[in-house]
């Protein structure tokens, strides 16, 4: 078990190093994704900034946790409101469907900010190990859906109406305390039947009253970097 975890961590770091070496240059505005793989990228970016290999880097973080981490490592942080756009964002994913470049994100709860940062980035680079590759979105993970707390029972009913069983994510299951995103919203983890048309499903979810954002990311990834036992490679779109 320990060896398996160590190997996965090494694969994530290999993907992060590849993205750093191929897509990040001095003077760039860089979006920092959230999640375990993205955090490894932040560590590697901080190493290059600290050594002076990369200079003039300013970053925008997609979560409070990653912002604190980056600041602690000495990376200059800006608010999304303070920049006109980003040169590149490097982020992870919970599932990757290679044929469509479709992604499922939000297990860590940062889906709204991740999508906002991606939307103003010239290039979105996704880094992952091979375990994140799937044949169809939703194969392994439920779809995270961020909703406003007000009237969330009704939003859950609307989600059921489009074919899923939403499960409210809890911070403390024993006490029934809901998980809150950095934007102070709730998250439903939604299991659907096989998702044959993720674009249509994404539109249906987003159209529901009470829904803020969902974890289906289509047409966003520019490059996908995968690390496996045989090495690091890019998936061709």
- Marked catalytic residue, from 44, 67, 114, 213: 114
Rounded Cα–Cα distance for residues 99 and 14 (Å): 23
**Distance of alpha carbon 31 from alpha carbon 100, whole angstroms:** 23
Question: How far is 227 from 34, CA to CA, in rounded Å?
Answer: 18
- Please choose, from the candidates 178, 175, 197, 174, the residue with its C-alpha nearest in 3D space to the C-alpha of residue 186: 178
C-beta separation of 32 from 42 below 8 A: yes
Has 114 been annotated as catalytic?
A: yes
Around Cβ 197, how many Cβ atoms within 10 Å?
A: 9
Q: Which residues are catalytic?
A: 114
């Amino acid at each position: 078990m320990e060896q398996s975890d160590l190997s996965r961590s090494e694969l994530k770091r290999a993907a992060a190093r590849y993205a750093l070496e191929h897509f990040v240059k001095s003077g760039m505005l860089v979006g920092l994704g959230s999640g375990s793989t993205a955090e490894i990228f932040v560590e590697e970016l901080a190493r290059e900034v600290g050594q002076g290999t990369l200079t003039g880097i300013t970053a925008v973080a997609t979560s409070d946790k990653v912002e604190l981490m980056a600041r602690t490592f000495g990376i200059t942080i800006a608010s999304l409101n303070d920049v006109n756009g980003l040169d590149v964002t490097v982020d992870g994913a919970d599932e990757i469907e290679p044929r469509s470049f479709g992604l499922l994100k939000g297990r860590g709860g940062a889906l709204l900010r991740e999508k906002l940062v991606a939307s103003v980035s010239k290039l979105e680079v996704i880094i992952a190990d091979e375990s994140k590759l799937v044949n169809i979105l939703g194969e392994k993970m439920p779809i995270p859906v961020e909703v406003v707390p007000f009237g969330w029972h009704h939003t859950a009913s609307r989600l059921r109406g489009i074919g899923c069983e939403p499960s409210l994510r809890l911070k403390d299951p024993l006490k029934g305390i809901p998980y809150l995103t950095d934007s102070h919203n709730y998250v439903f983890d939604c299991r659907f039947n096989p998702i044959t048309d993720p674009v249509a499903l994404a539109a249906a979810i987003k159209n529901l009253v009470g829904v803020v954002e969902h974890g289906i990311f289509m047409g966003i990834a520019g490059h996908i970097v995968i690390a496996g036992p045989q090495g690091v490679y890019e998936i061709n779109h």
